[in-house]
């Protein structure tokens, strides 16, 4: 049975994916800042007492991730997949570079990039023991440099472009150890971040992502994938 860490698991894509993975018989280590505020996550824990391991943790705090990894090690001993989903879009989206609060750029980078780095560092010793280790960093088309044709969402876009570079670098470093690392976009999803006009429900995105997690292998290492685990829709 595969063991999967999902960050940002209390809402949106993270919660929907957690539910799908549990239904598919996976064990999920669900990490989020405020699990006590998610009645849906608590209900999942009741329905899947053996499959869901709920851990309160903020990815911006290294000491909390170290503790979360220690707890996971004690309870499970190993890990197969890291799904780096925790992320924020702190700005309105229409700000000029001349006026945007630089604190928003720092905040986005702290969570969307350094948060992913902290998660990888904390859980790598466990994932390295898996027979089929995979790291999926949740990116976005807004992080594509070559496709950028406007100036919207400076903080979020810059952070996701940086996450893409992190993905490529980690993919090269860990390839010799058999770890597959990819960037993956969940699509435009109707969440607090994606808005009501988005094309996909969290459930639709999660179903595709769950299949992609199962199918991703070394041949896709270092690639930027769509929610189905395919190359071609997104460019760096």
Decide if 169 is inside a domain: yes
Decide if 114 is inside a domain: yes
Domain span at residue 44 reads: 3-225
For 62-90, the pLDDT digits (tens) are 999 999 999 999 999 999 999 999 999 99
Residue of 124, 153, 154, 156 with catalytic role: 156
Decide if 232 is inside a domain: no
Whether residue 156 lies in the annotated active site: yes
Sign of CA dihedral 222, 228, 231, 236: negative
Decide if 43 is inside a domain: yes
Give the CATH number of the domain where residue 92 resides: 3.40.50.720
Q: What is the reported pTM?
A: 0.96
How many domains, in total, are found in the chain?
1
Q: What's the average model confidence in pLDDT over 7-23? A: 96
Residue 76's pLDDT is 95
Q: What's the average model confidence in pLDDT over 92-114? A: 98
């Amino acid at each position: 049975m595969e063991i999967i860490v999902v960050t940002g698991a209390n809402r949106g894509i993270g919660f929907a994916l957690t539910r799908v993975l549990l239904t598919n018989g996976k064990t999920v280590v669900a990490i989020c800042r405020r699990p006590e505020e998610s009645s849906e996550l608590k209900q999942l824990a009741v329905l899947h007492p053996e499959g869901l391991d709920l851990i309160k943790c903020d990815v911006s705090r290294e000491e909390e991730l170290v503790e979360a990894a220690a707890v996971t090690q004690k309870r499970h001993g190993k890990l197969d997949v890291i799904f780096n989903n925790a992320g924020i879009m702190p700005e309105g989206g229409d700000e000029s570079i001349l006026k945007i609060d630089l604190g928003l750029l720092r905040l986005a980078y702290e969570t969307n990039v350094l948060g992913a780095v902290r998660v990888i560092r904390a859980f790598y010793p466990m994932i390295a023991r898996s027979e089929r280790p995979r790291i999926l960093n949740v990116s976005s088309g807004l992080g594509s440099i070559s496709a950028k044709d406007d100036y919207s969402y400076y903080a979020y876009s810059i952070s996701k472009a940086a996450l893409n570079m992190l993905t490529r670098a980690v993919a090269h470093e860990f390839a010799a150890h058999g770890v597959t690392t990819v960037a993956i976009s969940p699509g435009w999803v109707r969440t607090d971040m994606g808005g009501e006009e988005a094309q996909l429900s969290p459930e639709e995105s999660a179903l595709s992502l769950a299949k992609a997690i199962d199918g991703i292998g070394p041949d896709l290492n270092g690639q930027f994938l769509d929610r189905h685990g395919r190359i071609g829709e997104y460019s760096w």
